[in-house]
Amino acid sequence: MRKWQMICRLKLCSALFTVGLVFLVLPISSFAQNTVSQTLNVTVVPLGGLFMQSAPLALTKTGTFNGFTGTITLSYRARTRQGSGHGTITVKATSDFTPTGGPSIASPPSTADKFTYTCSGATLGVACSGIQTVSTTTSTTVVSLGASACTGGGAPCSTANPNSANITFILPDDPKYKTGSYSATLTWTISAS
């Protein structure tokens, strides 16, 4: 009987050893949880962007010695600082009409021959008012942006994206101009703070 008890004990010990070994080999699931936080910082700065039509603007006319006119739609996106920000879109002639003998921005034949423009329909900011003169020495304002201005998305921003304004150029047709094709270059600048 002792032998049988010994065999049973050995079998029991062997079975317990096998069960213990199985528990050691099985993956141990963890119920521990680790949570961390991360702070994110972003600085949103004032900005502005202009989008122009790629084709040159042709100034055309109707009637005898009426002025030449042409309208472009200026597209832009902008964001100005809250409270104290502002911005502008300006234009300046960086080259006069060439070749010589025709219209001139820097030296028109008379004060009545000045190259001018008007503004309308700004969807963000305020378009220039009245008739503005294009200059080769000074940039002139086309659109003024106030504080807290921003493009798209609805209140407090504009609903349009991009924003737009119409600029109509007027060039008087002086009989002194020689016939031919003439071209000039305008440079547009947007600034926002």
| 54-58, 86-90, 122-126, 138-142: segment of lowest average pLDDT | 54-58
d(CA 44, CA 81): 9
Higher pLDDT, 28 or 110: 110
Global pTM exceeds 0.85: no
Q: How many CB atoms lie within 10 A of CB 44?
A: 9
Mean residue pLDDT of the chain comes to: 88
Domains belonging to the chain, first-starting first, are 47-192 (2.60.40)
- pLDDT tens-digit series, residues 48-66: 999 887 789 999 997 777 8
β-pairing, 140-145 vs 87-98, is: antiparallel
**Which of the four pLDDT bands, split at 50, 70 and 90, describes residue 129?**
very high
Q: How many CB atoms lie within 10 A of CB 156?
A: 9
Q: So what's the pLDDT on residue 64?
A: 75
**Which of the four pLDDT bands, split at 50, 70 and 90, describes residue 81?**
very high
